[in-house]
Each structure stands twice: as structure tokens, then as C-alpha cells.
């Protein structure tokens, strides 16, 4: 120890009446047996397997982490399914609808459609004339 590190000398210089630290001595013979005591304890502990103490705090912590992971995993796995539906081609969609047409029936308009509703502005005579032309002069009455 360097002279300037001597606490007693330093205290005498700063404050001559300052009380010096009282040393508290251990029971007699303590330091003689202590090295062997601590080494024996160390050997004993090293030879024993480490058993981790499981506390309630640890159990709750693990449960919280597992719950978080489950929610995260569920969210993560459910997200790609939505993305996949966007990747279905028009052909696949058409095939699916065709194969499962029964499921779509409620959505399809099944009422009879009147021709007047589709072409309300075309006169009846014009339609007849068009049909005559298409049949190259054949009288429609001859067809029946």
C-alpha cells in the first residue's frame, strides 16, 4: 500500500480528532479454517447438478410468452390465406363457380325476362322485318 493510501495518516492530516474506524474482528480461528470451508463448499456445489428453482413468477411469465406467441402465430398464419385468394386466376374462379353452381343459385336472377324490358324502344314491325330479312324472304308462318 502506498503511503498516501494510508487512511489513518490521511485522516490525521485532514481532521486530527476524527474517530478512526473500529475494526470488527471475527471469532478466533475463523481465518484459519475459512479457506478450507469455502473450498469444501465449492467442491460440493460443483459436484451437484444444477436444479433450477421454478417459481410462480416464472410460470406466469412463460404462460404469457406462450399466449403471445399463439396469438402472433394465429395472426401470422391467417394473413397469407387472404393474400392467396387474391392470386386466384379468372379461369380458376370460373371453374369453381361452375362446379359449385348450386351454391350461387340464390344470387342469380331467375325471373322471366320480357323482350319489351330489354328493347322497349324497338317497334314490333321493325323486329318482324328484321327476322324476314334474316330468313331470306321465307314467311315465318311456313316454319310452323
Partner 1 sequence: MTDEEIVTLASHPQTQEEGFKHLVIKYQKRLYSLVRGRVPSHEDADDILQNTFIKIFRHIKGYEGRSELFTWMYRIACNEVINHQKKSSKMKTVELENHDVRTAEAYLNTDNLAASLEMVVTGLPERQQMVFRMRYFDELSYKQMAEMLQLTEGALKASFHHAVKKIEEEFRSKQII
Least distance (Å) from partner 1 to the CB of residue 42? 5
Q: Does 1 participate in binding partner 1 (rule CB under 8 A)?
A: yes
Contacts of 96 (CB under 8 A, 6+ apart): 88
C-alpha cell recorded at residue 28: 478466533
Number of residues in contact with partner 1 under rule CB under 8 A = 28
CB 130 within 8 A of CB 123: no
Whichever of 24 and 91 has its CB closer to partner 1, that residue is: 24
Q: Nearer to partner 1 by C-beta: 41 or 58?
A: 41
Site string for partner 1, 26-45 (x = CB under 8 A): xx--xx--xx-xxx-xx--x
- Length of the chain (residues): 144
**Residues 40 to 79: which contact partner 1 by CB under 8 A?**
41-42, 45
The whole-angstrom separation of Cα 115 and Cα 128 is: 13
How distant, in Å, are the alpha carbons of 68, 71, 93, 138 from that of 85?
27, 22, 10, 54
Q: Which residues bind partner 1 (CB under 8 A)?
A: 1-2, 4-5, 7, 10-11, 14-15, 17-19, 21-24, 26-27, 30-31, 34-35, 37-39, 41-42, 45
Amino acid at each position: 500500500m502506498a503511503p498516501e493510501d494510508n487512511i489513518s495518516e490521511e485522516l490525521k492530516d485532514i481532521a486530527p480528532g476524527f474517530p478512526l474506524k473500529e475494526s470488527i474482528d471475527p471469532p478466533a480461528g475463523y481465518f484459519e479454517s475459512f479457506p478450507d470451508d469455502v473450498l469444501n463448499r465449492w467442491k460440493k456445489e460443483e459436484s451437484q447438478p444444477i436444479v433450477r428453482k421454478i417459481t410462480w413468477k416464472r410460470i406466469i411469465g412463460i404462460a404469457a410468452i406462450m399466449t403471445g406467441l399463439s396469438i402472433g402465430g394465429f395472426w401470422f398464419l391467417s394473413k397469407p390465406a387472404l393474400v392467396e385468394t387474391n392470386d386466384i386466376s379468372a379461369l380458376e374462379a370460373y371453374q369453381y363457380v361452375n362446379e359449385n353452381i348450386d351454391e350461387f343459385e340464390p344470387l342469380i336472377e331467375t325471373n322471366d325476362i320480357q323482350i319489351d324490358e330489354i328493347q322497349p324502344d324497338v317497334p314490333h314491325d321493325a323486329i318482324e322485318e328484321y327476322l324476314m330479312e334474316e330468313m331470306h324472304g321465307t314467311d315465318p308462318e311456313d316454319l310452323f
